[in-house]
Amino acid sequence: MVAIGSGIVTTARLSDIAAQAGVSEATVSRVLNGKAGVSATMRQTVLAALDVLGYERPTRLRQRSAGLIGLITPELSNPIFPALAQVIEQVLSRHGYTPVLCTQTPGGSTEDELVEMLVERGVAGIVFVSGLHADSTADHDRYAKLTGRQVPFVLINGYSERIAAPFISPDDRAAMWMAVQHLAELGHEQIGLAVGQRRYVPVLRKIEGFTAAMQSVLGKSAEEAEALVHHTLFSVEGGHAAAGALLDRGCTAIVCGSDMMALGAIRAVRQRGLSVPGDVSVVGFDDSPLIAFTEPPLTTIRQPVEAMATAAVDALLEEVGGNSAQRGEFMFQPELVMRGSTGANTHRAG
């Protein structure tokens, strides 16, 4: 029998933990009883298994926090944001830091208000996900002021030359090339792009990649390619509205700026009595959790969430430790994940 917290873990439960962790019962026992002879990695694996199975950690094994790290994200209704937040929080926890998640919602606290709250609570650093740094029309002096207050920070999804900090981004231009190339190989020539507002850096980059690919791969003029871009909201409703407009322009394939938009686009296609991918192919962006289980399973561009989140935490903790991380942008390669929402163009002219 092994004591855990205020309770006791029986031999049967010990075997459950061992099975979950993929280690021997003896290893689990050594970890729970604080005995030597177990590597730090193995110890972490056993504790993770304990957490997954819902057991309380022994008091002596509870980590003392190295400090607080703020994480500011947009709303959590888009699954990519909780996915990023979860990995960031896991990596921070492995380093002994306690994450403080702050979510922006329409009508709620602004980014500046959340930053002020975090600074007042003495956070060691802040991770910004798709914040005002991604908005080319926003005043970026706020980040210089944060630097002046000696609060380290790292920025995900967005870039500004005016901000001296580490940036973490997927290669949005390359992502659009992948999508257009894939659809062109399936015989599609009228390919539409549904994205958010042009003032956002990731949107601008997607448009640049899309129009360049349409010109290079399909021989469209710059004007023809631009005419196939439709700006909308990053939501199911936004994708639905954009798809309607792009279908009216004769598009047989639609690339969307998010998976949520892609689900809206599929709904719009079906409301017209058309099928996906029989009549119209749809490509998403993010590869959010559970998106492979939609009907049809969604072809999408996968953001390398784990690699990006880990790099963001590593860069931030370098700053927290007094070692200046590289200023500038770390660009991560996305991946085209082909599933059931794209198929051959059956409506080719001629």
Half-sphere exposure of 49 (CA within 13 A, CB side): 24
Pairing status of strand 335-337 against strand 299-302: antiparallel
Pairing status of strand 328-332 against strand 281-286: unpaired
Residue with the larger pLDDT of the pair 279 and 52: 279
pLDDT of residue 65: 56
DSSP class per residue in 56-84: PPPGGGSPPP-EEEEEEES-SSSTHHHHH
- From residue 84, alpha-carbon distances to 14, 148, 240 in Å are 32, 28, 25
Q: Quick check: 197 and 232 in contact, CB under 8 A?
A: no
Please state, in angstroms and rounded to a whole number, the distance separating the CA atoms of residues 24 and 341.
44
| Mean pLDDT in residue range 256-260 | 95
Rg, C-alpha atoms of the chain: 24
Give yes or no for residue 219 having a pLDDT over 50.
yes
pLDDT of residue 63: 58
| Mean pLDDT in residue range 305-318 | 94
| Mean pLDDT in residue range 109-114 | 91
Q: Quick check: 331 and 167 in contact, CB under 8 A?
A: no
Band of residue 299 on the pLDDT scale cut at 50, 70, 90:
very high
For the whole model, what pTM was predicted? 0.81
Q: Quick check: 317 and 310 in contact, CB under 8 A?
A: no
Give yes or no for residue 6 having a pLDDT over 70.
no
